[in-house]
A and B are shown apart, each in its own frame.
Chain A
């Protein structure tokens, strides 16, 4: 080579070789450049899709967090609320009797014509209007009468007083004010009548109706009769219970079996078969676990329908292989020198594993757990088969109570017949679910980096 470069007049043969090398080099460089370009294009395409997805969900869902809310002075008039005072427990009255009397009183409170109270309140804001009471009622969410009832039950002294209260506008009024329904359509195609639409616009222009942050999305359960007040609280609690069941069952069982298989089990045919089957299990579609859950947990073990405990058990089965495989691979990544050193210093096999090997694998196990749980959080198909797609109007108090889950709630809202309103609501629920997922992943990354630093 030195000869070649120093020679002022190289031979024809070496010249040709040089040319060939240059040409080949050029090709190689071009190939490398091309490959890098492919990579960049692939990443750009992926990012574009993610950006489009997020832009679509956010642009559709964020408006749902703002909802038309009417601030109105409500009069708890003596005339309409014609009731005995709330029973007080007398001396000598048994607890059961008192409870019965109190329930009776509460039922009486419920039977008060609260719609009329709402109507009077709204009418006081538009004294000149000759709107019919049906049209007027159509502006206010029908669950708001229970808000008044609950306020009254909590504080019976409100009788005869006038207080400012915030009432949610109905879903149709919200659609109209936000322009979710085409405002130019003729009367026959509108949900609200012409006087109701005019009154809604008037109240909005006066500032009586404002767009307020919709906290009730987080505090209310799903609602069919009053769509404007539908929220995610029940589904969120259902998902939370399921996650708890998954963490409590899948992590200890998964980690224990991974440790045993990796560190203690003899390597023979049987363990090979077990290993292959765990890998197979990881690839089983989730809906199959749902069928299994319905057949085993509900029909055989007689666990309740639509309950997070069953959902949690099904998702545990689904998450187990993920955790076992990830734990085993992080155990395998521990250098053998660590084990040899511990054994050489006289530690028993169990001491070696629990004192020296396992602590090194915490970050791996943790990541696997959180990713497994996040995956389980977003799972819908198996839950449909165990009845978790039911309409539940209360927040579950325990994993045995009927409930829905966040992804199932998205599915249910997606199927709601009030499309104009629930399209946005569905996206809002997706935002909440995605936010949960992202924060779970963030926790995983944070914990891993902390644990790794400590090591």
Chain B
């Protein structure tokens, strides 16, 4: 036992010592975190990158939502901070300030394609033809009735509009840690709010009225789309908010709703017809270029035709490719190391 204790403590010391040694040497694997919408795309690129460039390690891709990823990104520079933050929305001025405060000044923005947000129900349910105003009236805390704001009285969809099915209102939407939530509010709730013709009020009150949700029928999902899908399976009346790529892979169990008469698909989103779509981003820490090997190559590889381009691997996974000129622009900006600043937003 004595020998064992001795050997074990020797091993413990050795581990601690090597811990010190390892932190002294710099990291050679790109570390990425952020949006769960971007995660599948970034993971595919990471995997293919590892295969295509035998001299670099495959990057490591973590999740945590757009906000979580950018918070990690803005913790500072150095080996124990991430190199790239994936985001399904643009970085905010406050986040840039936080970054600058921690010594991250060279934030390089890369926009690489589009994603659609779809509303879906279980496949055995009736068709939904939604308008933004329907969604607003279904889930807003207060809705206008005869020019007065009253607590939301609707219980079934057909009370809002006769064209909608007679189905109890229940909706699973992404929680505020997801970038998807912001797009949902901006493109659906606010639009619907305007169409609902709220009585005159101050701007701030209006904004609050547009995004305040009733809690009895709205389920906020902090996890990923699988959790939303589980909600639909446990309560078949639920309408869920998904990414187009998730819906695409689960077409056998989900049925998609049209928005303003347009069915979401690669084509309608690429053409800009489907209203609820958003660009996807990742942010590269300029300070780490040249320190962590492979960062520049990763960005070029990501933007290359075989990945984010038309007919590339990411299109197969549900990404809507950006036009080639747009991508070339992004690449040129990245090559010129044009950092984004708070007053550009």
Contacts and interface: CB of A to CB of B under 8 A. Distances in A.
Is B truly associated with A?
yes
Interface residues of B, number: 59
Interface in B1-53: 1-2, 5, 8-9, 11-12, 15, 18-19, 22-23, 27, 29, 31-33, 36, 39-40, 42-44, 46-48, 50-53
Interface stretch (A186-194, A208-216, A282-290): A186-194
* Interface pairs A-B: 5 shortest CB-CB: A390-B62, A224-B43, A393-B58, A252-B8, A225-B44
A382 interface: no
B22 A304 contact: yes
B79 A417 contact: no
Interface stretch (A20-28, A64-72, A102-110, A272-280): A102-110
Contacts of A146: 51
Given A306-B60, A391-B61, 17 more contacts: A189-B251, A190-B252, A225-B313, A245-B15, A249-B12, A251-B8, A256-B5, A301-B19, A306-B62, A391-B39, A391-B42, A393-B50, A394-B50, A394-B58, A402-B31, A416-B226, A419-B226
A391 B43 contact: yes
A420 B338 CA distance: 43
A260 interface: no
Interface stretch (B105-113, B153-161, B209-217, B242-250): B242-250
B229 A299 contact: no
Interface string A388-404: 01111110000111100
A224 B32 CA distance: 15
Nearest to B46: A393
Interface in B246-276: 246, 249-253
19 contacts: A107-B54, A182-B252, A189-B123, A190-B251, A224-B44, A249-B12, A299-B75, A303-B19, A354-B2, A389-B62, A390-B31, A390-B32, A391-B42, A392-B58, A393-B50, A394-B57, A401-B29, A417-B249, A419-B249
A15 B78 CA distance: 93
Interface of B: 1-2, 5, 8-9, 11-12, 15, 18-19, 22-23, 27, 29, 31-33, 36, 39-40, 42-44, 46-48, 50-55, 57-58, 60-63, 75, 78-80, 82, 123, 223-227, 229, 245-246, 249-253, 313, 317
Nearest to A313: B19
A258 interface: no
B9 A252 contact: yes
B12 A248 contact: yes
A304 to B, nearest CB: 6
B60 A402 contact: yes
Contacts of B313: 142, 225
Contacts of B249: 191, 417-419
B80 A106 contact: no
Interface of A: 103, 106-107, 110, 142, 146, 181-182, 185, 188-191, 223-226, 245, 248-249, 251-253, 255-256, 298-299, 301-306, 309, 354, 358-359, 362, 387, 389-394, 399-402, 414-420
A107 B252 contact: no
A418 B60 CA distance: 21
A391 B245 CA distance: 18
Nearest to B62: A390
Contact of A223 (B23, B47, B225, B227): B47
A414 B279 CA distance: 27
B44 A402 contact: no
A454 to B, nearest CB: 14
A121 B38 CA distance: 34
Contacts of B63: 389-390
Contacts of A309: 15, 19, 22
Nearest to A137: B316
A401 B28 CA distance: 10
Given A354-B1, A393-B58, A305 B80 contact: yes
A256 B33 CA distance: 40
Contacts of B18: 400
Contact of B62 (A387, A394, A414): A387
Nearest to A400: B22
Nearest to B311: A134
A302 B82 CA distance: 12
Contacts of B36: 415
Contact of A306 (B12, B31, B52): B31
B45 to A, nearest CB: 9
Contacts of A387: 33, 62
A418 B251 CA distance: 10
A302 B23 contact: yes
Contacts of B60: 306, 390-392, 402
A295 to B, nearest CB: 12
Contacts of B11: 248
A391 B80 contact: no
B196 to A, nearest CB: 33
Nearest to A252: B8
B226 A359 contact: no
Nearest to A385: B64
Contacts of B29: 401-402
A146 B82 CA distance: 29
Nearest to A393: B58
B224 A301 contact: no
B15 A390 contact: no
B75 to A, nearest CB: 8
B48 A225 contact: yes
A381 to B, nearest CB: 14
Contacts of A418: 249
A417 B12 contact: no
Nearest to B48: A225
Residue in B5, B36, B42, B246 whose Cβ sees the most chain A Cβ within 10 Å: B5
B140 to A, nearest CB: 30
B229 A419 contact: yes
Contacts of B227: 415
B58 to A, nearest CB: 4
Nearest to A362: B1
A304 B30 CA distance: 12
A419 B61 contact: no
